[in-house]
Structure 1
Amino acid sequence: MSADRTPVTVVPLDVIVDPENEEAVEAELRALQAGAGTGVVVVHVRARVVTPRALHLLLRARERAADAGGILCVAAPGPAARRVFHLTGLSRVLRVAATVTGAVRRNAGAGCGHPGSASPRSRAIPSPRRPGPPRPARSLSRLARPDRTRRP
């Protein structure tokens, strides 16, 4: 259970989702979501590869959870899997964290639970490389091709 006593259901996702098994994986996830009701469902992505099919499947599962009044979070312990979620921009939509506990905390509005992360409000803005006036842009004329036309 989470801190606010909302039931939490953890669903392991161990397979690489592809066109051949997508329907079966989605049917299993749908059944587990229906059993969870309006609680929090954490999909624990243990597969090393997250395919576009898996991303679409998780987005559909999130919509189903929202329609039922529940919440879907994702726990992805593998850095490569988390990177896919971050690069696609789905890490915020799907509430991705490194651990199941982190996913539940992220649902409550805390950080995402993997090292080096901070809550968005406490993230520091990096300072510029060098203070002072900006450097002039380099000329690209050295990259231009020489004019090879003949004079008449």
Structure 2
Amino acid sequence: FCLFKTIPEHGNIFEEVPESKLQPGDVVLFLLESSSQELSSIFRHAAVYCGDEELIQFRRIQSSSSLISSSVTALALVTKEGLGTMKKKWGKFKIYHKTDGVALNDFREKVREAMNNDAKHDFMKNNCIHFALSLLGLEKFSSQ
């Protein structure tokens, strides 16, 4: 997955921050573990910090019949998990803060709505990056 600091029609909106500056609405991107310098900034999962050491995420439910079917939609879940658990599970990460801030009331409302909706995962059109950006009002996300 790729996330750029600049999004068309929004300009330069993200800055990388250290974990000590983590705030609700920050996007946490878990890195693909690789010794290659080129692959070291490719992300394998995204979540959004909600506060109180919790992250909200959208993740594909792994099917036992096929490990990867990236071109096909699959069932997925919106869940919250503790920051410590996510760090153990996913490893290295980077934190991106929205430079103009996050409207916390809007963000919290979107989190509440997301926790009560179902959605299909699509590798190219409806994935964890789309979900994270939708919570910040920067991207459309298809839920049911």
Q: Same fold (TM over 0.5)?
A: no
Relative CO higher for 1 or 2, CA cutoff 8 Å, sep ≥ 6?
A: 2
If the length of structure 2 is used for normalisation, what is the TM-score? 0.25
Q: Which has the larger radius of gyration?
A: 1
